[in-house]
Amino acid sequence: MTEAPTIGVVVLTQGTRPADLDRGIRSILAQQGVQLDVVCVGNGWQPTGLPQGVKALGLSENLGIPAGRNRGVPLVSGDYLFFLDDDASIPDPGFLLAAIERVRADPSIGLLQPRVVDPRGIESPRRWIPRIRKGLATESGPVFSVWEGAVLLPRAVFLKTDGWAEPFFYAHEGIELAWRVWDQGLRTWYAGDLVANHPVIQQTRHADYYRLNARNRVWLARRNLPGVFVVLYVAAWTGIQTLRWARNRPALSAWFGGWREGWTGDPGPRRVLSMRTVWRMTRAGRPPIV
């Protein structure tokens, strides 16, 4: 009999959504055919009232989403890692086993993101499909960014990425993680037939959304792209966002404030994608200039 795959699960929360957190954790504990080791990381909060067997890690301050996820990894064992945000849940108890079987069947897959569906039946925003040419939400394929709220990858692959980009705090850390998976000669995969639940919420609810969106876009390029691609990538996104928010002057002003911060601030260690990776990404339909 084949031994059940082992998964370390990191659930991230600030403790502000107790009902959602409980739902998400219980959806993990309901998973079948796998061995689980689960930790709940409280970003600026000491998790309490957790189901039996779930570890708790309370961080004294909110270190940001990427750092919070990273802090949970050493506390869980398993050949695979699954990251879940506290407002997400998994409706199918066979999800994790199916996701791992997908990765095992295709060793070129280094990271898997499921399709995201609002459990109330509200139409999902197109941004949840991590492709430029969106197509059908149910269509699977290679991608170059991920919606970070529910992702699975082999532990060995995650460790080689150097983890989530801690300086980012919020926004675009899923793009860097996807790129660094590609840089291992693997692919990041969007599984349109596997589902995670998450309510439709406006991204702009975060006060620093526009600023961090711009700052981290520049930092993403400065941390990861070869020479000339840094300029091309930032220039392309500057044009896109200027057109997108041309009629929203406050948003555009905040965005350019973050853009300037991106050039003057410290993005953390630089780890450049190989030109082979740039070519593979280009052949797959997403050269790293947009």
Residue with tokens 């349109």, as numbered in its chain: 192
pLDDT of res. 205: 56
Size (the chain), residues:
290
Does 206 have pLDDT greater than 60? no
pLDDT of res. 185: 98
pLDDT of res. 132: 85
From 19-23, 33-37, 63-67, 202-206, the region with the lowest mean pLDDT: 202-206
Q: Are 137 and 106 in contact (CB under 8 A)?
A: no
Does 277 have pLDDT greater than 90? yes
pLDDT of res. 2: 73
116: nearest Cα among 128, 127, 126, 102: 128
| CB environment 255-271: b (16+ within 10 A), e (fewer) | bbebbebbeeeebeeee
SS3 242: helix
Mean pLDDT, residues 12-16 taken together: 96
Q: Are 238 and 230 in contact (CB under 8 A)?
A: no
Q: Work out the pLDDT band at 146, boundaries 50, 70, 90.
A: very high
Q: What percent of the chain has pLDDT over 70?
A: 98
* Separation CA 26–CA 90 (nearest Å): 9
From 41-50, 178-187, 243-252, the region with the lowest mean pLDDT: 243-252
From 68-77, 188-197, 238-247, the region with the lowest mean pLDDT: 238-247
pLDDT of res. 202: 75
How is residue 91 written in tokens?
A: 């409706």
Q: Which ranges of the chain does DSSP label H, i.e. alpha helix?
A: 18-29, 65-72, 95-105, 155-160, 173-182, 209-224, 227-244, 249-264, 275-283
Q: Are 115 and 51 in contact (CB under 8 A)?
A: no
Mean pLDDT, residues 237-254 taken together: 93
Q: Work out the pLDDT band at 1, boundaries 50, 70, 90.
A: low
pLDDT of res. 217: 97
Write down the pTM of the prediction: 0.96
> DSSP assignment, residue 167?
G
Mean pLDDT, residues 61-87 taken together: 98
Contacts of 46 (CB under 8 A, 6+ apart): 56, 58
pLDDT tens digits, 94-135: 999 999 999 999 999 999 999 999 999 898 888 889 988 889
pLDDT of res. 204: 62
pLDDT of res. 23: 97
